[in-house]
A and B are shown apart, each in its own frame.
Chain A
Amino acid sequence: MTTPLQTKNDSIIAKYPTYVVGTSENLGGIDLAPFGLETTWKIDPTRLQSATFLDLLQRLDGLTFGPEGMPMDKWVFYNCAELPGFIYGFATPASDLNEEERALFQVPEGYEGPVPISMYIAIPMLEEGAWFGHNLASLNRVLPARGLSSLGTITKALALKAYGVEHFFGATQWDSRALYIHTKFGPLDLITAYTPAHSIPLTLTYAFDVKDDGLRAVLGDPGYNIEFPQADIYLDADDEVSIRQLQEDIEFGAKVQLVGAPSLQGDNTIHRLRRLGES
């Protein structure tokens, strides 16, 4: 089977259909065939028949972040994702799950609809074209036998295309593994380095401009590439003093970018940054 786009793992595109959750008003503004990949399921969160699928999204969230991760409350899904923005991802019909997987998902008896295996949530910011992404979940590690490597990256890239994102913003912790995915999208402008308004102050806020060529490169199309500039600062993810100093510099106008994935040096996570000057 040929797929409409090239990715790092074309078997995902070939085997698993995609879904989007959004209200009827919002769905008018979405690209339902990002890079030519048609969306199979459109889920309206305001309808009764969507209830089981939305419960399964919450379950996906819990499975992704493990027993120590607290799944998002349903009201957060509803008020902070489904009403203002979208949830996009891959799913599989319940009939495709084996007994163990059905139990893992706690699929209700008799349910034969789609079961989500990944999701990406983003909501619009006030500026036209600007979106804030706040949840990426995938079952790559939970379902190793299914061969879902790169599922999170592919989901995020397709979601950004579907939502029509031009300027992307996100927040994550300096020690988060998610940064290995986020840094694939190109150099990331640091908006904050230390963020007391967040539950974990050692959170960074980042941003980048979204271009189709960049998304194709992230998806894994060998015809596209993203250039990463050389780093001139190396920052330990646990070095709160330096992170707070970086925040102070940013508040005084410094322009700083994350220029690639972190590296592990012993027990330490080291980030690569470069300073672009003052605004």
Chain B
Amino acid sequence: MALQLENYSRILDTCVPYLVARPQIVEAMNLSPLGVPIDPQHVFNPQKVSSGSFLNVAKTLDAMTYGPLGLQMPDWVFYDCAVVPGAIFGFARPAKDLEPWLRSGLKLADDYDGLVPVSLFIAIPTPNRKRWIGYTLCSINEIAAGGAPEGLWRLTLGMGTAALGIERMRSTTRWRTPGLGVYASMGPLELVTAWTPAHDVPETITFDLETDDAARNRLLSEEKTTATPAQRYLCADEPEEMVALQKDLEEGKRWAIVGPAEIRGAETRIPLADLNETSPQSFDSGAGFRQRFQG
């Protein structure tokens, strides 16, 4: 399926795709994801000294994104649990093209003139090697709006899953993060956990999603209609609702998030559907909510 990228030309004209992976992994990757070739010079071997400065900037981007959430990745985790077992895909801009405010924000050394990562997607395999864990997805626009064109989040996710050949992925995020909408625009997010005490932030969800070509097409075309209608909503600020949903899941019920968060004033609600329910009941959908759709 050919995916239409013309709406993303502003990114493709100003940013270049890159890959961080060991040579053994690179061999198994698609080096022209969605038809966009990755320049061999932009493929970084994490086990070579020459990759160090680029990787340090990538770590800065990750730290600036996740640090304020209390989830900053220690450097050893970056090595042991990301770039050695799995891979990173993202977009970068040449340092010479960066505006002075952005160079300063990213704490670039005055003499750094290499590529500057402005997005990254990290995924690692699971024991059957067909299902992956995606645990980092970030874009410079989250921390410095205007650092790259709009749409970078979703193009990074779409091209990243294509580059790594991921067709089904498990991931985690928080109920309140805008990133939930990016994932949900690929398709239903089948919940594995709704309340996760194993995580530092129990308001974390774990979900499975399809990331095949059809899902990438939905993501990149920004379709707002989903095949699965919502049957109820969860308030993203109510832990009791999350715990109740978690208990449902542990009893064998199958719930999915079927769209981006919806906002009304200070209220955030998440649309859910019961995947076991073939004839959904009608419900009061509320009034005045608007989809939060960005990325």
B193 contacts partner chain A, Cβ-Cβ < 8 Å: yes
Beta-carbon contact of A199 and B126 below 8 Å: no
Name the residue among B80, B172, B193, B204 with the largest chain A CB count within 10 angstroms.
Answer: B80
In the complex, chain A residues whose CB is within 8 Å of the CB of B25: 125-127
- Within the complex, the shortest CB–CB distance from A246 to chain B, in Å, comes to 11
Which residues of A227-270 have CB atoms within 8 Å of chain B's CB atoms? 244, 247-248, 251
- Within the complex, the shortest CB–CB distance from A33 to chain B, in Å, comes to 17
Q: A1 vs B41: C-alpha distance in the bound complex, in angstroms?
A: 61
Q: A29 vs B71: C-alpha distance in the bound complex, in angstroms?
A: 30
Beta-carbon contact of B47 and A78 below 8 Å: no
In the complex, chain A residues whose CB is within 8 Å of the CB of B172: 78-79, 83
Partner of A126 from B48, B56, B85, B243 at Cβ < 8 Å: B85
A81 closest partner in B (C-beta): B81
Q: A171 vs B246: C-alpha distance in the bound complex, in angstroms?
A: 37
Interface string of A116-148 (1 = CB under 8 A from B): 000000011111100010100000000000000
In the complex, chain A residues whose CB is within 8 Å of the CB of B24: 126-127
Partner of B76 from A23, A169, A199 at Cβ < 8 Å: A199
B265 contacts partner chain A, Cβ-Cβ < 8 Å: no
Beta-carbon contact of A29 and B125 below 8 Å: no
In the complex, chain A residues whose CB is within 8 Å of the CB of B193: 46
If the complex has contacts A123-B81, A123-B124, are A73 and B129 also in contact, measured as CB distance less than 8 A?
Answer: no
Q: A54 vs B193: C-alpha distance in the bound complex, in angstroms?
A: 15
A197 contacts partner chain B, Cβ-Cβ < 8 Å: yes
Q: A246 vs B172: C-alpha distance in the bound complex, in angstroms?
A: 39
Interface size class of B (residues with CB under 8 A): 35 or more
Name the residue among A78, A79, A80 with the largest chain B CB count within 10 angstroms.
Answer: A79
Beta-carbon contact of A171 and B80 below 8 Å: yes
In the complex, chain A residues whose CB is within 8 Å of the CB of B135: 79-80, 83
In the complex, chain B residues whose CB is within 8 Å of the CB of A132: 80-81, 84-85
A62 contacts partner chain B, Cβ-Cβ < 8 Å: no
Beta-carbon contact of A75 and B71 below 8 Å: yes
A74 contacts partner chain B, Cβ-Cβ < 8 Å: yes
Beta-carbon contact of A197 and B124 below 8 Å: no
B287 contacts partner chain A, Cβ-Cβ < 8 Å: no
The segment from B2-10, B175-183, B195-203, B218-226 that touches chain A is B195-203
- Within the complex, the shortest CB–CB distance from B173 to chain A, in Å, comes to 11
A105 contacts partner chain B, Cβ-Cβ < 8 Å: no
Interface string of B189-223 (1 = CB under 8 A from A): 00011011111110010100000000000000000
Q: A268 vs B76: C-alpha distance in the bound complex, in angstroms?
A: 25
In the complex, chain B residues whose CB is within 8 Å of the CB of A191: 47
In the complex, chain B residues whose CB is within 8 Å of the CB of A16: none
If the complex has contacts A84-B125, A85-B127, A196-B52, are A126 and B28 also in contact, measured as CB distance less than 8 A?
Answer: yes
Return the 5 tightest CB-CB contacts between A and B, nearest first. Answer: A199-B75, A196-B52, A80-B81, A51-B197, A134-B80
What are 24 A-B contacts with C-beta separation under 8 Å? A46-B192, A46-B206, A48-B243, A48-B250, A51-B198, A73-B71, A79-B135, A79-B199, A80-B135, A82-B198, A83-B170, A84-B133, A123-B81, A124-B125, A126-B87, A132-B80, A171-B84, A196-B49, A196-B56, A197-B83, A198-B76, A199-B75, A244-B49, A248-B49
